[in-house]
Amino acid sequence: MSGIILPGADGALYPRNRDWHPPANTPGYKSTTFRAPKHALLSLGGTASELTGPTFGHSSLNPLDNDLIRNYSQDGSEAIGQRLIVYGQVLDENARPVPETLVEFWQANAGGRYRHRKEAYLAPLDPNFGGCGRAVTDENGFYSFRTVKPGAYPWPNGGNDWRPAHIHFSVFGHAFAQRLITQMYFEGDPMIWQCPIVGSIADKSAIDQLIARLDRHNTTPMDALAYRFDIVLRGRRSTMFENKLEGN
Ligand SMILES: [Fe+2]
């Protein structure tokens, strides 16, 4: 979020809390050492195109964009895996809903495999699962999508490290310069507490805000479990956004 400080509903500015977010260089997450800034940060002003656009509306989306079970189906059949509804509310620090913002999500398939040419895990691809989608929040700040539960996967961090089941999220805001990226985990997963990326976050309550809650009241009977993941922008209650690790 380059140089942008968003005002809250009361007009107050909330500066970034450096204690809430992990340091740019966290050696347990090895690649951070190579990409962390080695010099003092400079603050650069945003350009007009970065600060004023783009805007997204519901008409920008295709009907299946928020249905990862079907949006990349090759033959009309559905993706394999534990069927889920993931939903939540995007809020600002003052608990005010953030409407009309683009939320994007991407994830591994049920076996823990990404559809990506650099993917090295031997778990199989699902021909009917692409692994990405998007939604625009409604007037109350809510988004939702259908998907399958992603599998855990090993990653080359040295040793034998595995990522817990997770879904990557991007919240676009109202301009390119506001885009934020984070990850969602699943309530009760013991793998969360063994992950070096999660471990780069010092404050346990910040980690807790990245864990979606099982919501039995919003399941679809005989079809899908539901998880709720709310996202809070800037301020003391904010979700930990990973792209705040570098730069300002
Ligand atoms: Fe991932």
**pLDDT (0 to 100) of residue 244:** 54
Does residue 163 have an active-site annotation? Answer: yes
Confidence of residue 170 (pLDDT cuts 50, 70, 90): very high
pLDDT tens-digit profile of 36-90? 999 988 877 778 877 777 777 667 799 999 999 999 999 899 999 999 999 999 9
Confidence of residue 2 (pLDDT cuts 50, 70, 90): very low
**pLDDT (0 to 100) of residue 4:** 37
Distance CA 139, CA 219 (A): 23
Give the residue, 136 or 247, on which the prediction is more confident: 136
Taking the centre of ligand 1 as the mean of its atom positions, its distance from the CA of residue 109, in whole angstroms, is: 10
Helix (H) / strand (E) element for 182: namely: strand 180-186
Query: Domain 65-233 is classified in which CATH homologous superfamily?
Result: Aromatic compound dioxygenase (2.60.130.10)
Q: Give me the residue spans of the domains in the chain.
A: 65-233
Taking the centre of ligand 1 as the mean of its atom positions, its distance from the CA of residue 172, in whole angstroms, is: 19
Residues 6+ apart with CB under 8 A from 40: none
Residue among 29, 114, 185, 227 flagged as catalytic: 114
CB-CB contact of 183 with 242 (8 Å): yes
Does residue 179 have an active-site annotation? Answer: no
Q: Measured at the alpha carbon of residue 134, what is the angle toward residues 133 and 140, in degrees to the nearest 5? A: 145
Does residue 153 have an active-site annotation? Answer: yes
10 Å Cβ neighbour count for 71? 22
Helix (H) / strand (E) element for 34: namely: helix 31-35
